[in-house]
Amino acid sequence: MNELALTESPSLRAQYADRVEVLSRVKELTLLSDGIHADLPMVARYFEVDIEAIKKTVQRNRAELTENGLRVLKGAELAEFERDNLSLSKRRSVTLFPRRAILNAAMSLRASPVARSIRTYLLNVEELASPELRAEAIERMERAAVSRAQVLMLRAAEGFLEHDWLATKTRVVIARGLGEEPEIDPDDVPLYVPDFLKSKGLKRDQIANTQSVFGKRAAALHEAEYGFKPGKRSSETTNGSIRNTLAWTQRHLPLFEEVWDRWYAALYTPQSELFEVGS
């Protein structure tokens, strides 16, 4: 069944009115402090459209949305709602969407990629007869939702992190979200100082004592040669925190080798190997 059929058929939408759990499976849903409703700006942000698009959807489908819990509060009712939810505003009215109304809007809103994902989920996942296939499809959808969130975060980092690294990272995230292996230029593969030092035979404590100075020396050589330091990338530390580090890639391997030869080869290369080279 074509997902666009949901945008045209109120009776078809009614068949899926209770499947509100789909909303959070496709994308994280933020609600007001009552944990039940979202207002117009929140619904627009969820669907990644402007508020006018949501208003037009409400105008076209007001009776149907009202049946699914849509409410417009004014006057004393609005004051009571805001008092109960510890909020104060100068709004004359507020439109409240419970989950059923948000789902109903998703089934009729054409301009939103999030809404299209919800319709696809409803039609292609929930109709699968096999529990195994359903579980697999749900996993794919959830993976795609995570991928989407990561891509949005990466886009927000433009201007703060190195452009080529961001582009490569985005391709990787999108490919994995689709369940595919990313196609990456071998020269764009990240290069990490600890991994390089490990390849030279250094032990864990030696790497810990060496990597910071090694990285600074590599950055200084890069700046001396090109007039600037490498850009930054975000990386996750062992304790789960995120920090920005220099965006080294395999293109910088010759630079790493130069740093190694200048300052470290004589310290860490076994004497027997040095003798063999000298002989």
Asked whether residue 133 carries a pLDDT value surpassing 50, the answer given is: no
d(CA 44, CA 250): 42
71-74 and 93-98 as β-strands: parallel, antiparallel, unpaired? antiparallel
Query: Per residue in 154-197, pLDDT tens?
Result: 455 455 555 555 556 665 655 555 455 556 667 777 888 999 99
- 256 with 191: CB under 8 angstroms? yes
Q: Which of 60, 118, 68, 70 is nearest to 97 (CA)?
A: 70
The pLDDT confidence band at residue 274, using thresholds 50, 70 and 90, is: very low
Model pTM score: 0.48
Domain ranges of the chain: 5-116, 128-184, 190-278
Q: Where are the alpha helices (DSSP H) in 71-162?
A: 75-84, 99-106, 113-124, 131-156
- 246 with 232: CB under 8 angstroms? yes
Query: Per residue in 194-208, pLDDT tens?
Result: 999 999 999 999 999
Asked whether residue 277 carries a pLDDT value surpassing 50, the answer given is: no
d(CA 279, CA 177): 54
Between 36-40, 87-91, 273-277, the lowest mean confidence (pLDDT) is in: 273-277
At residue 278, the 3 state secondary structure works out as: helix
d(CA 156, CA 234): 12
Residues ≥6 apart with Cβ < 8 Å to 148: 27, 177
